[in-house]
């Protein structure tokens, strides 16, 4: 039956398009990687249309199957559908995020509209849902992975309004289309604002933290802070205020259609936390603890500022302001730990850090990483690698795209060009994964050198990649990082723990000028300093999480009361005051540049970083108890978590590994907030 569905798709692909399109051809490139040099922008849209047509035929064949619904002829058949569409969008959306152009943005508008409508056609199809429901209601005889795949597919129908009447379905689909377009517009506006920031200040948004920590000119720091914190809120063509309100209203209306009072209730129903009150109760004590620590940090910084006042560098009465925090925090760190980024950066040249990433993975999980010069890349600065298991079998292809450029959106992320799954013949199709960052490129004088925070970012994103590479699932919907949003960050944050372990540093941290290994004394300083400034670091992260929740906890009538940008700003200020955020700190992301929640799937989910950190820190304590590189513990972590993906409930997996529920106080201990 499965081969029949694939044959239908192949026939459609061969006959539907007279012009040669690289996506409609079988790629004979190494390991099925994209032949980027053969792809043109003109290929994307026709291939997406053909992919949608192909998947529709596959779904129609599932519905028309005369046999009673079973897992194999319904759920598994769906899992194997849409491979051409996945092939195209896997390339296109990665390119649109990392190498965007006006032409790509225009194509993205059309593709997003088409794929959104196609998804709605599938997940509002009563006949298809009837088959899925029949399998779901008789799923006791399935194995656990099959049960999880079936439940996930069933829930997707329900959460996409399949049970609504025809008018409700039409409105739900209309909202989906509008949200897709608005989210894309939000992201494009933010990219333009980020580039405008660079034009005005002279540094990229990604370099902003380092700039603020080293800039001696207080007036310039203030200018940079105000430009950074007002992105998307400048009453220009890139203003995001109205877009934010439209997105929030539409999400809340969708939630109402499904019987939820707020967007947060709907969005959290399928997460580990389950509901807004659980998230709010989780965040409140973290916020309180971080603000207590932040007030101590201000006192330390004010002493240094007072010395500058006494030296005539600043006017009398000067107090720490938000644009002063990074600058004076660096001075305090220098005084407390005799440490600053200029001392450590020579040891963290990007190629060396990458070597450390790979070595840590090898030491923990026995894998090998080799350069793949035969694999094409989409940009000359991108590097390609093969990951091999201890037995030499392929785990997948890895692209490292580390340097900032104007065509790349800000931040850092992991994504798949291709997911892992078993094909119709039972062959294990291995993933193709990219890590995208915005590290400073090399200059004429120096190679790319990373700060301590940037080293942690590199390890973080490679943690996501390892989650994708080490998965051993049969079905796409639960493989790799396809887990609950408040679970997925556990594995990336867990991988950060290895960045500054002495055994790992001894392999990769060599001075790029002299080749000398990083001194033990400097390693000690780095590790002691990791808990430094955690009042600020935790506070701004927690504040953004609470701001995210408060926006999504509003009812539709409450949102209708917002009319202007001033209303949005007033709400932000009210929320910050209520949460206890001190005036010297702002949320890590303010509303108009909060890309995670308005363009990246973290709506009512930004708390997931802290939620997952509880799991990561508690899991790492087991490694410390057993020995950091205990092979049995590492193997248990790999088999329990990394191989399982979403094929089991997160807490079931966690208890299997740890033997108990995670201890929330582990997070406060790890951050030095207790």
Q: What is the pLDDT of residues 93-127, one digit of tens each?
A: 999 999 999 999 999 999 999 999 999 999 999 99
Average of per-residue pLDDT across 543-551: 98
pLDDT beyond 80 at 306: yes
Residues 168-178: tens digit of each pLDDT: 999 999 999 99
pLDDT beyond 80 at 281: yes
Are 350 and 450 within 8 A, CB to CB? yes
C-alpha closest to that of 88 among 106, 67, 112: 112
Give the integer Cα–Cα distance in Å for 69 and 273: 33
Give the integer Cα–Cα distance in Å for 483 and 430: 18
Residues 638-664: tens digit of each pLDDT: 999 999 999 999 999 999 999 998 888
pTM of the model: 0.94
- Tell me what pLDDT residue 425 has: 96
Are 243 and 598 within 8 A, CB to CB? yes
Q: Could you give the count of Cα atoms lying within 13 Å of 208 in the half-sphere of its Cβ?
A: 25
Q: Tokens representing 5?
A: 């569905």
> To which residue do tokens 């993906």 refer?
645
- State the chain's mean pLDDT as an integer: 95
- Tell me what pLDDT residue 19 has: 64
C-alpha closest to that of 256 among 246, 266, 269: 266
Question: Is 584 or 5 the better-scoring residue by pLDDT?
Answer: 584
Residues 567-594: tens digit of each pLDDT: 999 999 999 999 999 999 999 999 999 9
How many residues in total does the chain contain?
Answer: 674
How large a percentage of the chain has pLDDT more than 70?
97
Gyration radius of the chain over CA positions: 25
How large a percentage of the chain has pLDDT more than 90?
95
pLDDT beyond 90 at 401: yes
Average of per-residue pLDDT across 492-511: 96
Banded model confidence at residue 340, pLDDT cuts 50, 70, 90: confident
Lowest mean pLDDT among 14-28, 137-151, 337-351: 14-28
Residues 6+ apart with CB under 8 A from 11: none
Q: Look up 342 and say whether it is catalytic.
A: no
C-alpha closest to that of 411 among 457, 464, 348: 457
DSSP-derived secondary structure letter, 510: B
Residues 6+ apart with CB under 8 A from 229: 322, 586, 590
Banded model confidence at residue 10, pLDDT cuts 50, 70, 90: very low
pLDDT beyond 90 at 376: yes
Active-site hit among 54, 145, 297, 461? 461
């Amino acid at each position: 039956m499965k081969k029949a569905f694939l044959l239908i798709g192949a026939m459609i692909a061969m006959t539907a398009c007279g012009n040669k399109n690289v996506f409609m051809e079988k790629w004979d490139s190494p390991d099925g990687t994209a032949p980027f040099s053969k792809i043109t922008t003109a290929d994307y849209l026709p291939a997406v249309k053909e992919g949608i047509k192909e998947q529709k035929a596959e779904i129609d064949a599932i519905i028309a199957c005369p046999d009673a619904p079973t897992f194999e002829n319904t759920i598994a058949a769906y899992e194997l559908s849409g491979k051409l569409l996945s092939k195209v969008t896997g390339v296109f959306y990665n390119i649109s995020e990392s190498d965007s152009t006006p032409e790509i943005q225009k194509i993205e508008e059309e593709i997003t509209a088409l794929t959104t409508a196609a998804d709605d056609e599938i997940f509002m199809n009563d006949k298809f849902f009837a088959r899925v429901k029949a399998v779901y209601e008789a799923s006791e005889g399935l194995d656990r992975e099959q049960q999880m795949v079936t439940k996930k597919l069933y829930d997707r129908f329900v959460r996409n309004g399949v049970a609504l009447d025809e008018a409700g379905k039409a409105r739900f689909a209309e909202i989906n289309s509008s949200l897709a377009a608005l989210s894309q517009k939000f992201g494009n506006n933010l990219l333009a604002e980020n580039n405008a920031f660079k034009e005005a200040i002279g540094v990229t948004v990604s370099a902003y933290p380092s700039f603020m920590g080293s800039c001696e000119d207080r007036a310039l720091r203030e200018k940079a802070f105000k430009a950074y914190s007002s992105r998307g809120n400048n009453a220009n063509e890139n203003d995001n205020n109205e877009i934010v309100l439209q997105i929030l209203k539409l999400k809340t209306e969708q939630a109402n259609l499904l019987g939820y009072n707020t967007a947060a209730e709907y969005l959290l129903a399928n997460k580990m936390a389950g509901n807004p009150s659980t998230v709010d109760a989780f965040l409140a004590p973290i916020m309180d603890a971080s603000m207590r620590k932040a007030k101590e940090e201000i006192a330390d910084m004010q002493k240094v500022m007072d010395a500058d006042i006494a030296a005539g560098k600043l006017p009398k009465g000067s107090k720490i302001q938000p644009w002063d925090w990074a600058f004076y925090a660096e001075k305090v760190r220098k005084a407390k730990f005799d440490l600053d980024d200029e001392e450590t950066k020579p040891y963290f040249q990007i190629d060396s850090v990458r070597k450390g990433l790979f070595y840590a993975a090898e030491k923990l999980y026995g894998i090998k990483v080799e350069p793949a010069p035969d694999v094409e890349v989409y940009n000359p600065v991108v590097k390609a690698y093969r990951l091999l298991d201890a037995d030499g079998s392929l785990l997948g292809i890895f692209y490292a795209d580390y340097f900032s450029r104007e065509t790349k959106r800000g931040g850092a992320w992991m994504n798949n060009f291709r997911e892992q799954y078993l094909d119709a013949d039972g062959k294990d199709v291995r993933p193709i994964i990219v890590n995208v960052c915005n590290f400073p490129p090399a200059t004429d004088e120096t190679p790319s050198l990373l700060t301590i925070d940037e080293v942690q970012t590199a390890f973080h994103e490679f943690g996501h990649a390892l989650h994708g590479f080490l998965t051993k699932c049969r079905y796409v919907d639960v493989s790799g990082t396809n887990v609950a949003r408040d679970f997925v960050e556990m594995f990336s944050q867990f991988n950060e723990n290895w960045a500054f372990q002495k055994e790992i540093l001894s392999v990769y941290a060599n001075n790029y000028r002299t080749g000398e290994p990083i001194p033990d004394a400097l390693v000690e300083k780095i590790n002691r300093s990791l808990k430094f400034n955690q009042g600020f670091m935790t506070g701004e992260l927690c504040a953004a999480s609470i701001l995210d929740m408060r926006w999504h906890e509003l009812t539709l009538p409450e949102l209708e009361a917002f009319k202007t940008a001033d209303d949005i700003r007033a709400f932000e200020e009210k929320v910050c005051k209520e949460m206890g955020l001190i005036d010297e700190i702002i949320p890590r992301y303010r509303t108009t540049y909060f890309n995670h929640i308005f363009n990246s799937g973290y709506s009512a989910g930004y708390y997931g970083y802290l939620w997952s950190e509880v799991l990561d820190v508690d899991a790492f304590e087991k490694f410390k108890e057993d020995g950091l590189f205990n092979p049995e513990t590492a193997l248990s972590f790999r088999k329990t978590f990394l191989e399982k993906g979403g094929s089991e409930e997160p807490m079931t997996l966690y208890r299997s590994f740890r033997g108990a529920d995670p201890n929330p106080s582990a997070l406060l201990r790890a951050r030095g907030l207790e």
